[in-house]
Copies of this chain bind each other. A is one copy, B any other.
Amino acid sequence: MERDAVLFSNEAFYRAFADRDFTAMDGLWSRRHPVACIHPGWSPIAGRDQVMASWRGILSNPQSPAVICRRPQAYMQGDSAFVICFEEVDGSFLIATNYFTRETGGWKMTHHQAGPVPAPEGDDETVTSPIH
């Protein structure tokens, strides 16, 4: 199911983040469509080279915090999709949207935006499945 494939790519994004795996991260981002990225508190970054340079810096920085994806929910619209999820960072939370496009080789990222959010309510273990 395409929704599962989108959520798989979203998981792969957070796995690459957790593993500090720049090669995996680089492979997840689209080369066919224009990409952008809004890291929390940063100005927006436009263009693949600039976006990947930002990830190279983040993933090579030992001070970068661990990020755990919570409650991903996928929203499908044909050959594009976005996933909204909480990001748990050192016990506090961000909210992120990750945007994907369907390409040969799977769903590739074209945009990531994360920003502050109140802590989610309820039990994380019981609310992890997509609702749409």
Contact surface of A with B, Cβ cutoff 8 Å: 30, 33-36, 38, 40-44, 46, 73, 75-80, 82, 84, 95, 97, 99, 101, 110-111, 113-118, 120-121, 131-132
Contacts and interface: CB of A to CB of B under 8 A. Distances in A.
Total copies of this chain within the assembly:
2
Contacts of A75: 33-36, 110-111
Given A33-B75, A82-B99, A82-B111, 7 more contacts: A36-B75, A38-B97, A43-B120, A46-B84, A97-B97, A99-B99, A116-B116
B97 A113 contact: yes
Contacts of A115: 38, 40, 113-116
Q: For the complex, would chain A's binding face be called helix, strand, loop or mixed by DSSP majority? A: strand
A84 to B, nearest CB: 5
- Residue among A40, A44, A131 having the largest count of chain B Cβ atoms under 10 Å: A44
